[in-house]
Homo-oligomer: A and B are copies of this chain.
Amino acid sequence: MPEHTHLSLADAQALVMAHARTGEIEEIPLESAQGRVIARDIRANRDLPPYDISAMDGFAVRSADLAAGGAALPVVADIKAGDRPTAAITAGQCVRIMTGAPLPEGADAVVRCEDTRIDADGAVIFPAAVPAGNDIRRRGEVMRRDAVVLEAGSVVTPGVVGVLATVKCARVPVHRRPTVAILATGDELEALEDAFDADRIPESNSYAILAQLQAIGIAPQRLGIAADDPEALREALCRGLDHDILLVSGGSSVGVHDHVRPVLEALGAELHFWRVAMRPGHPLVFATHGDCRIFGLPGNPVSSMVCVEEFVIPLLRRHLGHRQCYRETVPVRLARNFKHAPGRCEFVRVTLTPDAAGMLWARSTGSQSSGDLLSMAMADGLLFIPATSDGLAAGEIARVQRIASNRFQETALP
């Protein structure tokens, strides 16, 4: 690839995703499965309900006995939820029955307590007739034994957890989480645990990236800060290469103090790209070394976070087994003009305000300096301006990726 080629965003994303590998299957306790992706079809282990049950607190009857209206029937038993289906009635009898309790043999309908009254000698009066099947939930109505109830690829939501408990799936087959290491680089950086020095630049990128990945269910390992020195960097990179993903913040430009690219090449990594036609997002390196996928991220905090949004999170979600890997975009109306010169696509930090009709109006957060992390903290989303655009006008409809959202889609921008 010639040194000055800029890949388009879409080509760069496709190249990264071509190196994704969905994690192998592991079984984890149901109690910690929330948010994971199911790796095998899950089948019902029983009919549910296991027998015909009452849908109400009331009385189980033979509907034929009530046909004339005003029937008075003696109560011959009392069935509650948890009782085995052993009771029975014959013509002219009824049983008291609780919601979820098994219907007695011979009964074909349930009448709610509220629709009955008790006469002086304890018999139950049924003023009105009911059809057969009234207020009964049938065996197997919710699920049938051996039927697939959850397909491989399903995301484990709370409702899915309930279904898994229902079929006694105490250990859930899911795709293994990728391991991720984060390395910061730069002599100018002051670590969080260092003594305060007003002249230095606080290292914040590794913490922001950590939080971006925690928010999608990944627990990365921070490797600290490597000095701008090839030997120190080589040693630090080597500690990261046994992870599935290695994120390196800073040092990937082409300046004389930017050692990430040459050191990666010396270690035998294959460099796939180092220029993408997007802003912010320069410089961005993508490389592989054995089973490790390596990103050299920009040192600017906002650029770093945008690259994580557009490249790293989709890759990680694919490893987790998700079909929907890219942050969801929503249509918005622009409250102002957004200038743009054709060339690179652009991600503009915006706030979103809904109007009465529910339409979201997008406004710039103000400063779009890639050093201004506060603007990233204020932003509701990233407005996407295509590479070919010569600017967007107030009132136009455009698309925004909501950041810090947990909703994703299958297709990348645009």
A76 at the interface (CB under 8 A from B): no
Q: Which residue of B lies closest to A214 (CB)?
A: B34
Q: Which residue of B lies closest to A195 (CB)?
A: B168
Binds B, one of A9-17, A115-123, A154-162, A285-293: A154-162
Binary interface encoding of chain A residues 369-403 relative to chain B, with 1 for a CB under 8 A from any of its CBs, else 0: 10111101111000000000000000000000001
**Nearest CB in chain B: distance from A94 CB, A:** 16
Which of the four size classes fits the interface of chain A? Answer: 35 or more
| Chain B residues, Cβ within 8 Å of A55 | 369, 371
| Chain B residues, Cβ within 8 Å of A132 | none
Instruction: Verify B255–A98 contact, CB threshold 8 A.
Output: yes
| Chain B residues, Cβ within 8 Å of A47 | 198
**Nearest CB in chain B: distance from A27 CB, A:** 14
Instruction: Verify A211–B156 contact, CB threshold 8 A.
Output: yes
A301 at the interface (CB under 8 A from B): yes
Q: Using known A-B contacts A142-B372, A187-B80, A208-B159, determine if residue A192 contacts B215 with beta carbons closer than 8 Å.
A: no
Instruction: Verify A142–B373 contact, CB threshold 8 A.
Output: yes
A357 at the interface (CB under 8 A from B): yes
| Chain B residues, Cβ within 8 Å of A270 | none
| Chain B residues, Cβ within 8 Å of A133 | none
A251 to B170, CA, bound (A): 25
Instruction: Verify A158–B212 contact, CB threshold 8 A.
Output: yes
A330 at the interface (CB under 8 A from B): yes
Instruction: Verify A49–B201 contact, CB threshold 8 A.
Output: yes
A82 to B229, CA, bound (A): 13
Seen from chain A, the residues whose Cβ lies within 8 Å of a Cβ on chain B are 30-31, 33-35, 45-51, 55, 57, 80-85, 98-101, 137, 141-143, 149-150, 154, 156-168, 170, 186-189, 192-193, 196, 198-212, 214-215, 222, 228, 253, 255-257, 299, 301, 305, 330-331, 357-358, 369, 371-374, 376-379, 403-407
A-B contact pairs, 22 of them (CB 8 A): A30-B207, A34-B211, A35-B215, A48-B201, A55-B369, A57-B253, A80-B228, A81-B188, A81-B299, A82-B200, A84-B199, A149-B374, A156-B211, A157-B215, A157-B377, A158-B209, A158-B403, A159-B376, A159-B378, A159-B403, A166-B301, A405-B407
